Amino acid sequence: MLTGSASALAARAAETLLKRNRHCERFFSKEAPRLAAACQEMSERFLKGGRLLAFGRGPYATDAQHVSVEFVHPVIVGKRALPALDLSIASRPWMEAILRPEDMVMGFGPPEGDAEVQAALDAAEGRGAMTFALPGERGSYCCDTGVQDAFVHQETIEILYHTLWETVHVFFEHRELGQDVGDAGFLYPFLGQEKQETGGIVEEVAASIRMKVDDDAKLRERVAAEQAEQMANAVLAIGERLRRGGKLILFGNGGSATDANDWALDCVAPPAGYRAIPAVSLSLEPANITALANDIGTEVIFSRQLIAQARAEDVAIGISTSGGSKNIAMALEEARKRGLLTVALLGYDGGEIVRRGLADFPMVVRSDYIPRIQEVQASVYHVMLELLCQ
């Protein structure tokens, strides 16, 4: 239950955000070289026709969703689409049916691991696949994040697979694989047109991974300084709606859709020590989304669902890295008309949603780089859940 004033909650929010920085710095300072080497092998497998097959159970299925959309629909203009699938709905039989030796298999689970996930990864490795146990004891790449907090664990893993996605393109575009650096130059200025030794590349990529983690730390510091009070006030307002019998209605596109799904699942199936609260994600409805997009247009895929699902005591929460997604803005506008509390988790400068005042509580991660925005947004909504549900 909530205790203390808004100012006390804001102090807790800031402190909890900053604790994540210390953990991530320790983890990635150790893991960066292994991750860089894993990226190199991934690039070789992709070039041979391999696919990335991802899966998880419960809230960790959303990490598989996130991996799939990031690799298939890269957010950096000019990056190639890479074959990736989320097999969470029936991971073991699906892999048995389609797995090829050149594939990569990524399994997600809680901090203590998941025996079913590990068994599926073992079977995949036995058939020649490269495996990622996140976490796990065995695999081509396996790790223990070193933290028992399920939220911090999941945030750590999100940074990890974002760095895999970002870094694998470096090895594609480097001349050692027969290609030029191309559009990766602005991200990795150390890569020139001349062929470099592989060992040096791996070391440089490892350094760039550490730099990404440092960028996250600076963003969390800024959010703690600028947004902690807004987070606390939003938590208090959401708590009041829940006491009236309301629920959270979440929605987002792409990677933000997976965050909406994760947020909803964390509400209804929380880690030990947290109370469950009612929540739904409109992004978890592929039949509704595709029907509305096909018959009317993508701009209504959330607002039309919200009309069917919303009650006046509910909370509408839109997630958008740009703040300018038309379907998010339309859903928040519809929620306002119906008397819902509106909350938005945004990037850049908050975009149209902030300019039009569509959210009672906008929280902005002020960055223009989508992976970093998403990583810090995950910290924000997890901290809000900690304040709300403990």
Based on the fold, state whether residues 22 and 60 are members of the same structural domain: yes
- Counting Cα atoms < 13 Å in the Cβ hemisphere of 191 gives 28
Q: Tell me, what's the pLDDT at 77?
A: 62
Domain extent for 133: 18-215
Based on the fold, state whether residues 270 and 332 are members of the same structural domain: yes
In a domain, 290, yes or no: yes
In a domain, 135, yes or no: yes
Q: Tell me, what's the pLDDT at 197?
A: 54
pLDDT, tens digit, 9 for 90 and up, residues 75-93: 766 778 999 999 999 999 9
**Tokens coding 47:** 């070039």
pLDDT, tens digit, 9 for 90 and up, residues 189-243: 444 444 445 557 889 999 999 999 999 999 999 999 999 999 999 999 999 999 9
Based on the fold, state whether residues 191 and 315 are members of the same structural domain: no
CA distance 245 to 240: 9
Q: Tell me, what's the pLDDT at 170?
A: 84
Q: Tell me, what's the pLDDT at 2?
A: 45
Based on the fold, state whether residues 32 and 171 are members of the same structural domain: yes
Based on the fold, state whether residues 384 and 289 are members of the same structural domain: yes
Provide the number of structural domains found in the chain: 2
In a domain, 3, yes or no: no
CA distance 108 to 112: 11
Based on the fold, state whether residues 200 and 250 are members of the same structural domain: no
H/E stretch holding 318 reads: strand 315-320
In a domain, 8, yes or no: no
H/E stretch holding 86 reads: strand 84-86
**Tokens coding 175:** 């001349």
Weakly modelled stretches of the chain, pLDDT under 50: 1-3, 175-196
Based on the fold, state whether residues 148 and 209 are members of the same structural domain: yes
Based on the fold, state whether residues 136 and 62 are members of the same structural domain: yes
Q: Tell me, what's the pLDDT at 247?
A: 98
User: Helix or strand or coil: residue 301?
Assistant: coil
Based on the fold, state whether residues 146 and 282 are members of the same structural domain: no
Based on the fold, state whether residues 272 and 310 are members of the same structural domain: yes
pTM of the model: 0.92
In a domain, 233, yes or no: no
Q: Tell me, what's the pLDDT at 199?
A: 59
Based on the fold, state whether residues 277 and 130 are members of the same structural domain: no
CATH label of the domain that carries residue 355: 3.40.50.10490
In a domain, 76, yes or no: yes
